[in-house]
Amino acid sequence: MAFTLEDLPIRDDLRGQSPYGAPQKHVRVQLNVNENTHPVPAEVADDIVESIRQALATVNRYPDREFSELRRSLTDYLNGGLEGPALLTPEQLWAANGSNEVLQQLLQAFGGPGRSVLGFPPTYSMHSILASGTGTRWIPAERDAEFGISPETVAAAIAEHQPDIVFLCGPNNPTGTPLPIETIAAAYDATDGIVMVDEAYAEFMPDDAPSALTLLPGRERLVVSRTMSKAFAFAGARVGYLAAHPAVIDAIRLVRLPYHLSALTQAAAVAALRHAPAMLAMVDDIKQQRDRMITELQDMGYRTYESWSNFVLFGGVADPHAAFEALLDEDVIVRDLGIPNHLRVSAGTAEETTAFLDAMRRVAAVQPPVRVDA
């Protein structure tokens, strides 16, 4: 018999687990992992390459452990979308290799054995996996109808479970559901622990919708995480960040690996942020394609949900696995998350969206949409 990881003296709590990861298939229309399907504009790519070239001149040295220039750039970017007292300072910013690493560092600092984190499934599946990897107990709580979380619901769950950390996701992945600002404030008031709001999809919210960042003043235990992977079309560069009180950043410094952000990553991210408007130029188009998906899926008879993100969850799929495979046969990949009768699809370019919708019409002809209640 072949030697497997089960034969190793691995941690008991990791036995039998599977690594996270959507299939990475080479398909023409890839709409399965909520990426921005638009490439980085060529002139921005040139500037990024030039910045990396310059950084290479000193790559024999360790990088700036505090990534000061990147923190200043991220601060300017966030402040550009904020007003008045919510203005942030670089001391409130922290970055890592994707927001996944930011969240892991947060759990390393504030979670761990003997501690717990409360979340509201269905939500981003890495939240519970990161909890498990850091030995933090994951407590799943119930959402309201239509996947919402009211201030009362969040306060009741916190009162019942007394978690050390609360993870909220707004807009929520995989449902796209908005997270009311009142719910975040109610969560904060209901706990003495850390409240972390994962805003990976913030740039896809309506322009007048307030971010959790506006709640930061006076809330020292509130943390807001963001990423350059989605709206910024920078998933392959791996840059995520958070904003919080400087004391939270001090706590994360205790667990981060020294020099965790490479000089090349820092240079690339700073250059990309110099071109924020060009990098974000496609956001409005993506939002339009998302809304088009919702309308046309509804017309086909599927059940859709309000989405403030760059993807759409839709229900009424008689056999999600068969539908997934049928789409794959047409060179379109979506996500089957194991939610009965549902699939999730990321908004693509106009052409990709058309290809998905046309393929979906053919799927609907073979397996007509069924009724679902949520």
Ligand X SMILES: Cc1ncc(COP(=O)(O)O)c(C=O)c1O
CB under 6 A: which stretch of 69-77, 95-103, 141-149, 351-359 binds ligand X? 95-103
**297 contacts ligand X (rule: CB under 6 A):** no
Nearer to ligand X, 177 or 289 (CB): 177
**200 contacts ligand X (rule: CB under 6 A):** yes
Q: Please report, as residue ranges, which positions from 299 to 338 form the binding site for ligand X (by CB under 6 A).
A: none
State the minimum distance, in angstroms, from the CB of residue 51 to ligand X. 20
State the minimum distance, in angstroms, from the CB of residue 301 to ligand X. 28
Question: Would you give the binding string for ligand X spanning residues 111-140, x where CB under 6 A is met?
Answer: -------------x----------------
**Candidate list 240, 315, 316, 348; residue touching ligand X; CB under 6 A:** 240
Amino acid occupying residue 126: M
**191 contacts ligand X (rule: CB under 6 A):** no
**Candidate list 98, 111, 176, 178; residue touching ligand X; CB under 6 A:** 98
State the minimum distance, in angstroms, from the CB of residue 237 to ligand X. 9
Question: Strand pairing of 194-198 and 222-227?
Answer: parallel
State the minimum distance, in angstroms, from the CB of residue 85 to ligand X. 27
**Candidate list 31, 93, 169, 317; residue touching ligand X; CB under 6 A:** 169
Q: Which two tokens stand for residue 274?
A: 């110099």
**235 contacts ligand X (rule: CB under 6 A):** yes
Size of the site for ligand X (CB under 6 A): 13
State the minimum distance, in angstroms, from the CB of residue 310 to ligand X. 10
Of 233, 234, 337, the residue nearest 282 (C-alpha) = 233
State the minimum distance, in angstroms, from the CB of residue 209 to ligand X. 16
Residue 136 · residue 30 · CB < 8 Å:
no
Nearer to ligand X, 211 or 229 (CB): 229
Cα 78–Cα 312–Cα 216 angle in degrees, nearest 5: 25
Nearer to ligand X, 35 or 296 (CB): 35
State the minimum distance, in angstroms, from the CB of residue 78 to ligand X. 15
Of 226, 206, 269, 227, the residue nearest 67 (C-alpha) = 269
**Candidate list 134, 173, 177, 211; residue touching ligand X; CB under 6 A:** 173
**Candidate list 30, 37, 73, 100; residue touching ligand X; CB under 6 A:** 100
Long-range contacts of 292-301 (CB under 8 A, 24+ apart): 292/353, 292/357, 293/345, 293/347, 293/353, 293/356, 293/357, 296/357, 297/357, 297/360, 300/360, 300/361, 300/364, 300/369, 301/364, 301/368, 301/369
What is d(CA 348, CA 182) in angstroms, rounded to the nearest whole number? 31
What is d(CA 170, CA 15) in angstroms, rounded to the nearest whole number? 32
State the minimum distance, in angstroms, from the CB of residue 15 to ligand X. 26
- Each residue of 142-152: b (16+ CB within 10 Å) or e? ebeeebbbebe
Nearer to ligand X, 236 or 301 (CB): 236
**Strand ordering across the sheet containing 93-96:** 93-96, 240-243, 222-227, 194-198, 165-169, 116-119, 137-140
Residue 209 · residue 62 · CB < 8 Å:
no
**148 contacts ligand X (rule: CB under 6 A):** no
Give one DSSP letter per residue of 22-78, joined into a string. ------SEE-SS----SPPPHHHHHHHHHHHHHHHTTTTSPP-TT-HHHHHHHHHHH
What residue number has its CB nearest to ligand X?
98
Binding residues for ligand X, rule: CB under 6 A, are 34, 98-100, 124, 169, 173, 198, 200, 227, 229, 235, 240
